A and B are shown apart, each in its own frame.
Chain A
Amino acid sequence: LAKTTQPISMDSYEGQEVNITCSHNNIATNDYITWYQQFPSQGPRFIIQGYKTKVTNEVASLFIPADRKSSTLSLPRVSLSDTAVYYCLVGDKGTTDSWGKLQFGSGTQVVVTP
């Protein structure tokens, strides 16, 4: 089971870059790293997913070192609307699921202020 560890909270100002690191020391060979964003009273929203090195989309970048025991979600130039809870999950894309991998941790509360 790839248990994940994230900081509880992070504060930032508008326009700054926010980097959230997730530790997953027990990541398995077939596991991917997935990040979600959740606003209050809404369902989590898939942000980005990666396996190794770097992945970038229109919302964020995901950096994964060679040992894959951690990953960093990077939010460039945040705005007030990026205030949310961010979760990382680690699991495979296939059908070999386990409940432990599907369990969300506490996530990281990001607060962006003017």
Chain B
Amino acid sequence: DSGVTQTPKHLITATGQRVTLRCSPRSGDLSVYWYQQSLDQGLQFLIQYYNGEERAKGNILERFSAQQFPDLHSELNLSSLELGDSALYFCASSPQGGLPQHFGDGTRLSIL
């Protein structure tokens, strides 16, 4: 058990819709990372937060946004969903920053 909790585990929705993925980091970890993994693109870094502030931004689309709240949990918002957004979305955390240490089990998003 990594200590990182992601909800929901599965999400099925239609094109054009909006969804929110939630992540609770491991207790004591201040940094949260979001990754997208699809079959043809491997693990893609989306964004990192550290103690509520954006720290690094990767290949995150403008239709996607994220934030980290004062209690350190994070949410990834995906809007105007397209078929190509179907993927596993992983959240990770680390104590201070640097490289991610603990990964959650992911949210599997399926767009119909």
Separation of A43 and B6 alpha carbons in the complex (Å): 11
Q: Which of B61-112 contact A (CB under 8 A)?
A: 88, 90, 92, 96-106, 108
A: contact size bracket: 20 to 34
- A72 contacts chain B at the CB level, 8 A cutoff: no
Interface centre among A41, A45, A49, A97 (most CB of B within 10 A): A97
Say whether chain B's binding surface is mostly helix, strand, loop, or mixed: strand
Binding site for A on B (CB under 8 A): 2, 4, 33, 35, 42-45, 48, 50, 55-59, 88, 90, 92, 96-106, 108
Q: Pick the contact of A99: B57, B98, B99, B105 (CB < 8 A).
A: B57
Q: Would you mind naming 26 contact pairs between A and B with Cβ atoms under 8 Å apart?
A: A38-B43, A42-B106, A43-B90, A44-B92, A45-B103, A46-B102, A49-B99, A87-B43, A91-B99, A93-B97, A93-B99, A94-B96, A94-B98, A95-B97, A97-B48, A97-B97, A97-B98, A99-B56, A102-B45, A102-B48, A102-B100, A103-B44, A103-B59, A104-B35, A104-B43, A104-B44
List B contacts of A95 (CB < 8 A): 50, 55, 96-98
Q: Pick the contact of B33: A32, A92, A102 (CB < 8 A).
A: A102
Binding site for B on A (CB under 8 A): 32, 34, 38, 41-46, 49, 87, 89, 91-99, 101-107
